[in-house]
Structure formats: structure tokens, C-alpha cells
């Protein structure tokens, strides 16, 4: 009978080189994808910030007047991403994110009515500095388009969910 000899692929320099090459290529792909995502998010945030100071207008999507869901809708158009126009539809878009895990570009949903169950407002995370400061931009019905801190008592108690659009 002949003898059977097993050779481990990774016990030779060729196998190790191939493994190292595959790991490097995989990490480059992830890194490249993350950079593209971050560039898109930066564009969306920059666009949203150009509306700072614009007065609130229900159904608005221009510099003459903007509402909260319109701000997201308009800002995401700059990266050729089609998002729903209404808060009702936006709250179903993308994937769920734990409130403690939000990142720039994520959407925050609030219940602003007296009953505080129905989601009626949305904002875009613009900056995450720590567990006590998460800035977001939104169209406030009383102050127009502004950036606020999620951890202000007013917003913190009204936050209902967060989603990541992509």
C-alpha cells in the first residue's frame, strides 16, 4: 500500500503569502467601502448644513422653507440616493440602530406630540463626540433648520428610534 502524505497549505511560504495577500485585499475592500460611505455621509451633512437658518415650512424642500423629512430627502438627493419623502416612510427605511450606537449619517426619530408615541419628527446625526454629545440637524417648527444636541433633556426623552439608511 502506498503511503498518504498530508501537507498543510499554510505550513509553507507560498500558502502564507497567499493568505496574507487575501487578508490584505479583503481589508482594502472594507476600507475603501468605508471611505466611500464616509464621503457620501459628509456630502449629505454638508448639504443639510447649507439649510441652517431656513424657516420651517410644512412640506418644504427649498431655501424658502423646509420641513424635517424634506431636509433628509433633499440632502440625500446630492448623493443620488432616493429616500422616502415623509417621516412615516423614513422611519421604515434602512436598518435599526441602537440609540447608543448612532453614527454620523444616521437618522433619529422623535415623538413630539402630547401622547409621545407617534413618531412625527426626524433629524440627521451630524457629529458624535461622546456619550453626552450627539449633534443632529433638523427642521424645528419654531426655530427652522438648526443643529441640536440629542442629549438635551427635551430631545432625549422624545427619542424613539434610530435608523441607518445605508
Catalytic residue among 68, 72, 119, 139: 68
∠ CA(73), CA(78), CA(81), 5° rounding? 60
Is 121 catalytic? The answer is yes
Catalytic residue among 51, 56, 121, 125: 121
Q: Among 142, 141, 136, which residue's Cα sits nearest to residue 159?
A: 136
Catalytic residue among 125, 138, 163, 165: 138
Residue 12 has which C-alpha cell?
A: 509553507
- What residues are annotated to the active site? 68, 121, 138
Amino acid at each position: 500500500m502506498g503511503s498518504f502524505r498530508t501537507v498543510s497549505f499554510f505550513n509553507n511560504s507560498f500558502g502564507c503569502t497567499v493568505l496574507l495577500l487575501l487578508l490584505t485585499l479583503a481589508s482594502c475592500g472594507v476600507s475603501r467601502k468605508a471611505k466611500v460611505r464616509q464621503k457620501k455621509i459628509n456630502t449629505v451633512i454638508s448639504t443639510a448644513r447649507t439649510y441652517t437658518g431656513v424657516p420651517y415650512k410644512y412640506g418644504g424642500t427649498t431655501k424658502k422653507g423646509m420641513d424635517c423629512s424634506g431636509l433628509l430627502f433633499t440632502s440625500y438627493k446630492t448623493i443620488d440616493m432616493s429616500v422616502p419623502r415623509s417621516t412615516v416612510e423614513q422611519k421604515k427605511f434602512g436598518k435599526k440602530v441602537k440609540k447608543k450606537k448612532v453614527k454620523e449619517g444616521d437618522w433619529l426619530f422623535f415623538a413630539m406630540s402630547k401622547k409621545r408615541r407617534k413618531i412625527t419628527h426626524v433629524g440627521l446625526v451630524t457629529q458624535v463626540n461622546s456619550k453626552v454629545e450627539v449633534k443632529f440637524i433638523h427642521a424645528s417648527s419654531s426655530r427652522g433648520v438648526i443643529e441640536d444636541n440629542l442629549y438635551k433633556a427635551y430631545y432625549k426623552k422624545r427619542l424613539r428610534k434610530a435608523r441607518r439608511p445605508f
